[in-house]
Amino acid sequence: MDLTGELEALARSVGDAAGPVVAVGARTQFDVGGPVPTDATMVRAPAGTVRFEPADLTVTVGAGTPVRDLDALLADAGQEVPLDPRDADATVGGVLAAGLSGHRRLGRGPVREAVLEVRAAMADGRMVKGGGPTVKNVSGYDMPRLFVGSMGTLGVLGQVTLRSRARSREVRWVRRRDADPRAVRRCCPDATCVAWNGTDTVVLLEGHPADLDIQADAAGLAFSDPPVWPSGPHRARLSIRPGAVVGLRDGLDDTGAQWCAEIGVGTVHVAADDPAALARARVVAHGVGGWMLREAGAPELDGFGIELPNRALLRRIKHAFDPDDKLAPGRMPL
């Protein structure tokens, strides 16, 4: 379907708004980033498939398309875009704007690698295209990457073209207790996720079944359910040098938060009933030069919690695109 009319309407509503404008998807990640004004004009990107050509490995959708619908569309052609939000009701635009990579980042790369072209409504009501619709492109500046993780503060994503890929022949969760997760990872070249909570190493293997058998055997891994990701009213992710993660086990245990780390990536998911546990987890991250991003609850843990690197440059970029701080003010405290 052609979304030109819907995109024009989106740009108009952004441009015409006198006060703050906030893009809303399915609100599954609405707590990520700082709070936005409650009186803001809420805008929504259109949903729907614009173009899907399986042999091109590209798919163009409205940014308001639920990931669940995108997954279903691609599955019919044996393909996927590994966005992997925790909640598949999330919209494609929401996942990109929040910029939180899914659990298969080790094998499939960060979420930013999935984006080829964006069309975004700018603060002044113009619709801007960045990137290009092909799987390879160096024509001009990399606007799509700038928008991933920008939390709606530079423009409102209206339509995006994503890189798809063939689904693996087999996908299999396997597990081992009390192993060195780094050694497990080394045995498993076909691992797309190695999750570790300090006790259990839970691995997602993707590939040819015969290869997966060999790797699981070599690492002593047995069939398993998926890992239990930390959940609770207060949730966050730590971003840590991957090499530092294993050494943090005791420190993380002592926080009182549930935690699960992505080995080889450096993301540690944490959750707790008590926000103080998250505050302690943040200190653990700071101890190794990392930081914590709040995902839900714990409003007192807003912001980056560290002296923001390159603040002046980040502010200049924000000012260049949104001089009046109209788009999601407060969302990304610069």
Partner 1 sequence: MGDLRGALGADRARAEPLELTMYARDAGTEVGTAAAVCFPRSADEVAAAVRVAARHRRPFVARGSGTGLAGGATPVGEPVVIVTTAMNRVLEVDPDERVAWVEPGVLNLDLSRAVAQFGLHYSPDPSSQQACTIGGNVATNAGGPHCLARGVTSAHVLAIDVVLADGSTARLGGLEPDTPGYDLRGAFVGSEGTMGIATSIAVRLTPNPPDVRTLLVDFTSVEDAAATVSGIIAAGALPAALEMMDAEITRAVEDYVGAGYPRDAAAVLLVELDGSPAGVAADEALVDEVARAHGARTVRVAADDAERELLWKGRKSAFGAIARIAPDYYLHDAVVPRTRLVEVLARVYEIAREERLTMMNVFHAGDGNLHPLIVFDAREPGVWTRVHDAGRAILEACVEAGGVLSGEHGIGLEKRDAMRMIFGPDDLDAQARLRDAFDPEGLANPAKVLPRGSRCGEVQRVPEGVWI
DSSP type of residue 52: E
DSSP type of residue 67: H
Residue 25: which residues within 8 A CB-CB, separation 6 or more? Answer: 44, 45, 63, 64, 90, 91, 93, 94, 97
CA triple 52-23-75, angle to 5 deg: 25
Cβ nearer to partner 1, comparing 66 with 329: 329
Cβ nearer to partner 1, comparing 39 with 138: 138
- Widest Cα–Cα separation across the chain: 62
CB 21, min distance to partner 1, A:
17
CB 121, min distance to partner 1, A:
11
Give CA torsion, residues 251, 257, 258, 264, to 10 deg: -40
Cβ nearer to partner 1, comparing 150 with 258: 150
In the chain the beta strands, taken as DSSP E runs, fall at 21-23, 41-43, 49-53, 58-62, 79-80, 115-121, 127-131, 156-163, 165-166, 170-177, 191-196, 200-207, 222-223, 234-239, 258-262, 267-272, 291-296
Cβ nearer to partner 1, comparing 19 with 189: 189
Asked whether 61 and 54 are in contact (CB, 8 A), the reply is no
Residue 287: which residues within 8 A CB-CB, separation 6 or more? Answer: 251
Q: In angstroms, rounded to a whole number, what is the distance separating the alpha carbons of residues 260 and 275?
A: 17
Structure tokens at 121: 């409504």
CB 232, min distance to partner 1, A:
21
CB 308, min distance to partner 1, A:
6
Cβ nearer to partner 1, comparing 166 with 273: 166
Cβ nearer to partner 1, comparing 66 with 188: 188
CB 39, min distance to partner 1, A:
26
CB 318, min distance to partner 1, A:
8
Cβ nearer to partner 1, comparing 88 with 314: 314
Instruction: Give the SS3 label for residue 319.
Output: helix
- How much is the CA Rg of the chain, to the nearest whole Å? 20
Q: Which parts of 207-270 fold into alpha helices (H)?
A: 209-219, 249-255
Cβ nearer to partner 1, comparing 36 with 115: 115
